[in-house]
Amino acid sequence: MDNVKAAFRTAMGGYNKQDVNNYIAGLCERFESEKKALEEKNAALESELAKARGAEPEKAKNPRAELAALLSADKNDGAETQAANTSDREMLVKAEALVTAQNARLDEQKKTISERDSEISELKTRVSDLELELESAREKLDSFRDVNEKIADYDRMSAKVGDVLIKAEADADRIRAEAEEKAAERMKAAELAEKDFSIKETEMKAELERRREAAEKELDARIAGLSENRFRELNDTLESASAEIGKLLDKLKADIASKSQVADSTVRTVDEK
């Protein structure tokens, strides 16, 4: 309160009206600027969320179906092949669960920004109410005939305005501190999710490569006892399977890279805030 009062020049035992007006106008302008910045950040987050939710087109489901069909084509060859198919499907489900969790974190960040915007709007409303009170006080002071009553009333209003302005400043600082703390927590969670994504990608690629190598070895063992025509058929099947697996690996890399870029962009946006 002492810092606010020191900024107001005294006049007739009270505060200079113009100083008070200038301070209130400056505070309102700053609140408006902060609100605009938050609205822009909120719009950017909504855009990123929309991109993240629409990043996987319908056609992206086909490679998974093709992989499932490919891995289950030889299901009668033994229990090992069937177990491999189940493992592959489980890894895909886990990857999709990670993406869902990341989207949930983005929604939580959007909620935090919305709450901050609401609190600052309330502060702006309170300052606006104070302006109305101050204007009413000015009119009342103009109607007073006794100078001493004018001075006493103005002193009371000035003290009230100073106290409320200090409270508004403290509330704004608290809101900013809480928002920064939450943003740091979200950023840390996003970094952990990205690291987990990278580990899952490596595991999936290694597992698929192992399956491919096992299939090649099994086919090589069978080729020795097959006729030339059968050999060509199996060779074509192997090449087709290898090509499909290669496409799936490329698609998985692209999907994971896309999700990571969305997460990175969201974290940077929150950090800049």
pLDDT digits (tens, 9 = 90+) for 105-145: 767 766 766 776 676 667 667 666 766 766 766 666 565 55
Contact yes or no for 114/43 (Cβ under 8 A): no
Give pLDDT, residue 215. Answer: 76
Amino acid in position 139: E
- pLDDT class for 203, splitting at 50, 70, 90? confident
Confidence of residue 217 (pLDDT cuts 50, 70, 90): confident
Residue type, 219: L
Q: Which two structure tokens, joined as six digits, stand for 146?
A: 């006794």
Give the integer Cα–Cα distance in Å for 28 and 160. 17
Average pLDDT over residues 180-209: 77
Taking the C-alpha atoms of residue 185 and residue 189, their distance in angstroms, rounded to an integer, is 6
Confidence of residue 57 (pLDDT cuts 50, 70, 90): very low
| SS3 label, residue 144 | coil
CA nearest to 41, candidates 263, 267, 270:
270
Instruction: Write out the two tokens for 31.
Output: 């609140």
Task: Look at 71 and 222; give whichever has higher pLDDT.
Answer: 222
162 burial level (CB within 10 Å; 0-12, 13-18, 19+): buried
Name residue 228's amino acid: E
Q: Report the range of poorest mean pLDDT among 37-46, 80-89, 262-271.
A: 80-89
Q: Give the count of alpha carbons within 13 A of 263, CB side only.
A: 26
Residue 180: the pLDDT is: 78
Give residue limits of the domains in the chain: 2-272
